[in-house]
Amino acid sequence: MQAEIRSKNVSQTSPVKIGSLPPLLEIKGPLAKIDLSAWISGVSYLLGVNIIGTKNLFTAFHEAPFDLVAVIACLVLFFVSVAALQKYMGLSLLANEYGKPRQLAIHGPYRFSRNPIYVAFLLPLLSFALISPLAACGAIVIYVLCMNFTVLRAEERDLVGIFGETYVKYAQKTPRWLF
């Protein structure tokens, strides 16, 4: 089923068809036991750490221990957020056990974003700005672009196939991220 949606980020003259854009990458085989979003999140986080540099990271934490506490707190808050959202949705924490969605989540945090779990991962990436704004920007740009071109395209294709017009109407009024 191909449904049409006008994205807030696209001019009104160029409709975007939800589910019509194939993901640029999908993982198959044993690596698929770990969700692609987890791979992208990990790579983005490591990219941020590499931009900061190990020496600078330890120096920053030695000179400003609050930064270390803040970065760790943001990472912990991310994991707590994911666990809370998955409990809210009645899902296992293991990606390979999700199965097909039984109902469309549109309440709670899903009123503000179609992807609140992915938005939650921006928090640990944003925490890099305490040490290096460049690291935070680099990691966030890579994360958002990779998610948009892979995971989110595949998920939107699947959700249109399962929920049809209901998902399209939800997507028209709810941003993919927060904006």
pLDDT of residue 27: 73
For the chain, how many residues are written? 179
Range of the domain at 165: 36-173
Distance CA 91, CA 75 (A): 21
Residue 4 included in any domain: no
Task: Assess contact for 137 and 57: CB atoms under 8 A.
Answer: no
Report the run of H or E that residue 12 belongs to, with start and end. none
Residue 99 included in any domain: yes
Residue 84 included in any domain: yes
Residue 5 included in any domain: no
Task: Assess contact for 4 and 131: CB atoms under 8 A.
Answer: no
Helices (H), the chain: 36-52, 54-63, 65-89, 116-120, 122-127, 133-149, 151-163, 165-173
pLDDT of residue 23: 81
Residue 19 included in any domain: no
Q: How many domains are contained in the chain?
A: 1
**For the chain, which ranges sit under pLDDT 50?**
1-14, 93-96
Distance CA 167, CA 20 (A): 14
Those residues with Cβ within 8 angstroms of residue 10's Cβ, 6 or more apart along the chain or in another chain: 16
pLDDT of residue 10: 39
Residue 132 included in any domain: yes
pLDDT of residue 53: 74
pLDDT of residue 31: 66
Burial of 139 (0-12, 13-18, 19+ CB in 10 A): buried
pLDDT of residue 14: 46
Start-to-end Cα distance in the chain: 26
Residues 131-152: pLDDT tens digits?
889 989 999 999 999 999 999 9
